[in-house]
Amino acid sequence: MLGKIIRNTKIIDGHFLLAVKLPQSFQTPMPGQFVMVREKGRLDPLLGRPFSVYTFARMENAVIVEILYKVVGKETSILSMLKRGVLLEIYGSYGSAFNITTNTKKVVLICGGIGIAPLTFLASHYWGLATGDIDVICYLGATGAAKLVGVARMEELCQGVFISTDDGSMGYHGTVTDLFARDVTSYDSSNASIYACGPRPMLKKLSEMLSMCALPCQVSLEERMACGVGACLGCSIETYDREGKSTYRRVCKDGPVFDIHDIIWK
């Protein structure tokens, strides 16, 4: 489907917020789902790239999708140079969504870097539930203060936002998993749901921590993808099946959201 860029703004160094206007028929995404994006007509790179939905708004005659992205390579560099009015091919929404539960007292979001994008969309869904009974708490980590992105929006949506930086330039000095480890015993499986997105080493460490306290946790994985629709197996990861045996699942089709305890972390 074709969408038109209405904004593509640099937020902090190497991070942009892209707003795209799409036809009404664009399927409403759920938090955790992703879209495949590429510039219309561009042949290099040939394949689109996956991005989480950061915000979504349905208007009378169109929808607006916002994507928060970090420049890491070819496609994201190209995207960062595109101006208002440029056409993008956007396909989706793809993949599994986070399971949203109202049967909880605390929702805990653990975000590493650009992993904040899908979790902000999730926070906005909990905000929209407006039950008043659920506290949304966010732990947000970055390498340094200058790399923190999306904090203000999270502060609007959450009852508490706790920040960590690897270099100690803001908030807790250390990783976001170490910051969360200080509080982990204050949450239990009867009243807390954990959601996480970030770099693999962060999620692996979180998995090790949570295996000792049996807290439920859904993670969104940001593996490299090719086709994005389940055809090439390029995004396969090793997981446990129901009997505890190893099995491969595709992040684009079976995920990107998984139970953290189902993944065999390497």
Summarize as ranges the residues that interact with ligand FAD (CB under 6 A): 34, 45, 49-52, 67-70, 72-76, 114, 117, 222-225, 256
Binds ligand FES by CB under 6 A, chosen from 62, 200, 230, 261: 230
Kindly state whether residue 221 participates in binding ligand FES, applying the rule CB under 6 A.
no
Q: With CB cut-offs between 5 and 8 Å by kind, which of ligand FAD, ligand FES, none does residue 227 bind? A: ligand FES
| Phi, psi of 146, deg, nearest 5 | -70, -15
Kindly state whether residue 36 participates in binding ligand FES, applying the rule CB under 6 A.
no
Q: With CB cut-offs between 5 and 8 Å by kind, which of ligand FAD, ligand FES, none does residue 73 bind? A: ligand FAD
Return the exposure string of 228-264: e unless at least 16 CB atoms fall within 10 Å of the residue's CB, then b.
beeeeeebbbebeeeeeeeeebbbbbbbbbbebebbe
Asked if residue 189 lies in contact with residue 165, where contact means CB atoms within 8 angstroms, the answer is no
Considering beta carbons, is residue 209 or 227 the nearer one to ligand FES? 227
Q: Angle at which helices 200-210 and 176-183 pack, to 10 degrees? A: 20
Q: With CB cut-offs between 5 and 8 Å by kind, which of ligand FES, ligand FAD, none does residue 187 bind? A: none
Q: With CB cut-offs between 5 and 8 Å by kind, which of ligand FAD, ligand FES, none does residue 234 bind? A: ligand FES
User: What distance in Å separates the CA atoms of residue 109 and residue 125, rounded to the nearest whole number?
Assistant: 13
Q: Site residues for ligand FES, window 94-113 (CB under 6 A)?
A: none
- Side-chain-side CA neighbours of residue 125 (13 Å): 21
Min CB(47)–ligand FES separation in Å: 9
Residue with the two structure tokens 């440029």:
86
Q: With CB cut-offs between 5 and 8 Å by kind, which of ligand FAD, ligand FES, none does residue 232 bind? A: ligand FES
Min CB(109)–ligand FES separation in Å: 25
User: Which window, 95-103, 156-164, 213-221, 226-234, contacts ligand FES (CB under 6 A)?
Assistant: 226-234
Comparing every residue's Cβ against ligand FAD, the nearest one is 73
Q: With CB cut-offs between 5 and 8 Å by kind, which of ligand FAD, ligand FES, none does residue 250 bind? A: ligand FES
Asked if residue 134 lies in contact with residue 107, where contact means CB atoms within 8 angstroms, the answer is yes
**Contact pattern for ligand FES over residues 231 through 250, marking x by CB under 6 A:** xxxxx--------------x
User: What distance in Å separates the CA atoms of residue 216 and residue 140, rounded to the nearest whole number?
Assistant: 19
Q: Which residues contact 165 (CB under 8 A, 6 or more apart)?
A: 141, 142, 143, 144, 145, 147, 148, 171, 172, 173
* Residues in a beta bridge with 193: 107
Return residues touching ligand FES (CB under 6 A): 225-228, 230-235, 250, 252
